[in-house]
A and B are shown apart, each in its own frame.
Chain A
C-alpha cells in the first residue's frame, strides 16, 4: 500500500471548514484513498473513501487531485466533537482481505 503523509496537527475554529491535507504521491492506480478518524480512547470511525472523483457524504467531502497524488478531507462546519486524529490511508479495494495500515495521522483540534 502506498505511504501517505499528513501534517501532525491542525487547529480549526468551531463552525469553520476544516481542510485536512494528505499526500500520497506513490499511490497506484487501483488504490483508493480512505479516511478514518479516532476520537480519544475510542475505536476508529470510517469517514469516506474515493478513487478518482470527488466524494461527499453526510460527514465530509473528499477532494482528490487529478493526478491522485494528494487529497483533502473537508469537514464543512467543524464542531468541538470533530476533535480527533484523522488518518488518511491508501488501500487496494479488494474483497475483505485488505487490512488498514495506520500512519500517525493529523490531530485536529477544533476550538471554540
Chain B
C-alpha cells in the first residue's frame, strides 16, 4: 500500500509554455501533499505544502503565481509551471501523508526539461 504516482514521468516543453504535473495517492487519502524540486547533484528543496481544499503554503523564494498548486481532492494534487523557462528545468517530486502516520510517501518524480 501507500503508493504515490506522478504523471507525466518526463516532459519536454518549449520556453513560455505551461506544464501541469499530477500527483496521486493511489490507495490512501492524503490530507497533505508536498511539492519538492531537485536540481542536478543537489538535495530536495521543498517548494510548497498543499492541504486538500485550501490554498497552498509556499516556501520563501517560490513564486506562487508561477507554480500553481491545486489540491482539489484527497487523492490528487497538481502543480502547474506557468510560462516555463529553461531555469525551471528540474526534477519535481511530490509526497503525500495522512493524519494517521508520519511517513511521507513519495512519488517517482517528474523530469521537466524546458528548451
Residues of A within 8 A of B (CB): 32, 36, 38, 41-46, 49, 87, 91, 93-105
A41-B91, A43-B95 known; A97+B32 contact, CB < 8 A:
yes
CB-based contact B46/A93 at 8 Å? no
Check if B104 is an interface residue, CB within 8 A of chain A.
yes
CB-based contact B32/A96 at 8 Å? yes
Comparing B13-21, B79-87, B107-115, the segment that makes contact with chain A is B107-115
CB-based contact A101/B46 at 8 Å? yes
Residue from the list A32, A49, A93, A102 in contact with B44, Cβ < 8 A: A102
A41-B109, A41-B111, A96-B97 known; A46+B46 contact, CB < 8 A:
no
Chain B contact residue count (CB 8 A cutoff):
26
CB-based contact A98/B102 at 8 Å? yes
Given pairs A43-B107, A43-B108, A93-B102, 11 additional interface contacts (CB within 8 A): A42-B108, A42-B109, A43-B109, A44-B44, A44-B93, A44-B104, A46-B105, A96-B97, A98-B102, A99-B49, A102-B36
Residues of B within 8 A of A (CB): 4, 6, 31-32, 34, 36, 43-46, 49, 91, 93, 95, 97-99, 102-109, 111
25 examples of A-B residue contacts, CB within 8 angstroms: A32-B102, A38-B44, A43-B95, A43-B108, A43-B109, A44-B104, A44-B106, A45-B106, A46-B106, A93-B102, A94-B102, A95-B99, A96-B31, A96-B97, A96-B98, A96-B102, A99-B46, A99-B49, A100-B44, A101-B46, A102-B36, A102-B44, A102-B45, A103-B43, A105-B43
CB-CB < 8 A to A93: which residues of B? 102
The winner among A43, A91, A99 for most chain B CB atoms within 10 A is A43
CB-CB < 8 A to B31: which residues of A? 96
